[in-house]
Structure 1
Amino acid sequence: MPVELVKKLQINSEDRGGIKVIPFQTCRKIASELGLKPRDVEVTALKNGICPSRYQRNIGTIGIGGQIKLLGSRAAVIGCGGLGGWIIEMLARAGVGEIVMIDPDVFDDNNLNRQLFSTEGNIGKSKALAAAGRVAEVNNAVDTFAQVTFLDENNGRELLEGSSVVIDALDNNRSRRNASIICRELGIPFVHGAIGGMFGQVGVFYPSDRPLWESEDVPDKGVETETGNPPFTPALIASFEVSEAIKILSSAENGLRGELVWFDMADLGSQRIRISRSDEN
């Protein structure tokens, strides 16, 4: 840890409500002066009890130790559309250090109603590349890895290896099955989300869990083929997925495991259902 870096961080920090805080712009300036990565400067600040200002509102919930863990983590998001756009946005703002974004598709005009990164100006352009560009604007301390490709049984290990968590933003159970099997082989927790109309669901599956969609008789699509998806459903379910992912990355307790939480936004109902078999049983 460079002594000069620590001194600069200490000199430029101030007490704000009982927490030593340094403006994130100052962290960027110090990184440039010393030829360091912005993320390394932020981690060093946190390890010395100094919070970069951009994360100040995180600390009361996840603590300085949790923020350090987030910055040192890699999350992979499979799908950069309705769910994936909101997920990637929140991960970047939370300060997850590395984000892998996997999506072979380009934006279509019917994405404009609900996909955060879809604009009138980028129809026909890559979703994964747009996601990486957005993260650079929101938090350029985050390293991005845009993969313009399908994830399948042939490339899945290469795409997901090294991730601390994989987050499902897919729209079909066949791809979901491939992803969850690869996560189990690699020992990576898999955070699941799916949406359809006014309905949504979230679950977390660890390597010893066997989600039911791994069965061949599970339909590939659901009610979304009839209902479509309005703007608010992906935002809500993505929030729950990111919450569960951050619990995993920051080593928090009380996360989901082997269960689905199912939401009906038409009548504000919810239900918690156990849906996986465990290899440990």
Structure 2
Amino acid sequence: MGSIDLLGTQARQLGVPSKMADGTEYLSLSMFIAEEISSRENAPLREVELAALAAGVIPEHYVRNFNSIDIQGQINLLSSKLALVGLGGLGGLLIEAFARMGVGHIEAADGDSFEESNLNRQLLSSSQRVRLSKARSASLRVVTINPAIDCAAHAEFVTEDSLRAMCHGASVLVDALGGLDNRQLLQDVATEFNIPLVTAGMAGFSGYVATVLPGQPGPASFFGSGSAAEDSLGTPVPAVYTAASLQAAEVMRILAGQAPALDNRMLLFDLNDMSFEKIQIA
């Protein structure tokens, strides 16, 4: 296996001078060259990308992340692990976003399979994938988007023990559950592992997103369990995509090394009148 210095040197030698959309010059590493280095040096593709970034070479896959984040932020993303619970409406969108932004290790779980009623909003579903495991669909999707990512998608509903195993070494826990059940468990385990929880929910055209810091109250502290408003109001695709996008933005900030925008706050949105409001929850 090649050393980081050797991989970085090869990336610099094979990098191509390029310009970003704003005219900023940089050395670009195409995925084809990265895969060639990976194969030649018997090194994981993610290690090649990390070495390239450390040497100041930007894998072309991530160039449009700049300059919203810098090289260190992209290194942080590729070096990070997150835990994601749920691979349906929110989770399918989120795991795609995490793979595209370059989160290095994704640990995900969902014991459900696709139904026809999921087709209105769940990105990983299709008419050909009805009855397919959501975890299997997620794994297939991630590897086609970003083969440098380590993704373990488990076809099981989380328990206390399995959730703790998923959170071991993670920097953030992401709640993509539907309904209200088990959300308090996620909040408690995130506190146990001293990591933030990024959570969301929606019903009809409205919803919320919150970042719960360890030991602080979150939406689950107030909403409890049982039936949820989405059971009567439905989950149309605009609200699901809005909530997932807001969650992805928070996770990207956290993993890249920036402060969360919703630290112990909840962002409420209503697409009926396009209103957004932040409230303090801790």
Normalised by the size of structure 1, how large is the TM-score? 0.94
Give the match for residue 250 of structure 1: 256
Give the match for residue 127 of structure 1: 134
Give the match for residue 13 of structure 1: 15
Give the match for residue 231 of structure 1: 237
CA contact (8 A) 2:250 2:260 kept: no
Matching residue within 33, 49, 52 for 1:26 = 33
- Rounded Cα–Cα distance in structure 2 between residues aligned with 1:156 and 1:3: 36
What do the CA deviations read for 1:52-95 (whole angstroms, capped 9, x no partner)? 00111112111000000000001111100000000000000000
Matching residue within 59, 65, 68 for 1:58 = 65
CA contact (8 A) 2:104 2:149 kept: yes
- Rounded Cα–Cα distance in structure 1 between residues aligned with 2:258 and 2:276: 23
Aligned residue pair count: 275
Q: Secondary structure at the match of 2:67?
A: helix
Amino acid at match of 1:74: K
- Rounded Cα–Cα distance in structure 2 between residues aligned with 1:151 and 1:3: 40
Give the match for residue 208 of structure 1: 215
CA 1:110–1:212: 2 relative to 1, 3 Å: closer
Instruction: For structure 2, list consecutive stretches of 5 or more residues without a partner in the other structure.
Output: 20-24
Q: Give 1:251 deviation, angstroms.
A: 1.1
CA 1:2–1:208: 2 relative to 1, 3 Å: closer
User: Which range moved further: 166-175 or 243-252?
Assistant: 166-175
- Rounded Cα–Cα distance in structure 1 between residues aligned with 2:133 and 2:191: 29
Give the match for residue 79 of structure 1: 86
Q: Secondary structure at the match of 2:66?
A: helix
Q: Give 1:36 deviation, angstroms.
A: 0.7
CA 1:7–1:270: 2 relative to 1, 3 Å: closer
Give the match for residue 172 of structure 2: 165
Residues 1:269 and 2:275 aligned together: yes
Instruction: For structure 1, list consecutive stretches of 5 or more residues without a partner in the other structure.
Output: 277-281
What do the CA deviations read for 1:193-244 (whole angstroms, capped 9, x no partner)? 11111011100011131225235x7343332111111122211110110100
What do the CA deviations read for 1:86-121 (whole angstroms, capped 9, x no partner)? 000000000000111110100001001100000111
Amino acid at match of 2:168: E
Superposed CA RMSD in Å reads 1.5
Residues 1:196 and 2:203 aligned together: yes
- Rounded Cα–Cα distance in structure 2 between residues aligned with 1:207 and 1:108: 35
CA contact (8 A) 1:151 1:159 kept: no
CA contact (8 A) 1:101 1:132 kept: no
CA contact (8 A) 2:187 2:220 kept: no
Q: Secondary structure at the match of 1:60?
A: coil
CA contact (8 A) 1:114 1:230 kept: yes
Give the match for residue 279 of structure 1: none
Give the match for residue 146 of structure 2: 139
CA contact (8 A) 2:5 2:51 kept: no
After the TM superposition, which residues 88-103 of structure 1 pair with which residues of structure 2 at under 5 Å, given as runs? 88-103=95-110
- Rounded Cα–Cα distance in structure 2 between residues aligned with 1:188 and 1:210: 14
**Identical pairs, percent:** 32
Residues 1:44 and 2:51 aligned together: yes
Q: Secondary structure at the match of 1:120?
A: coil
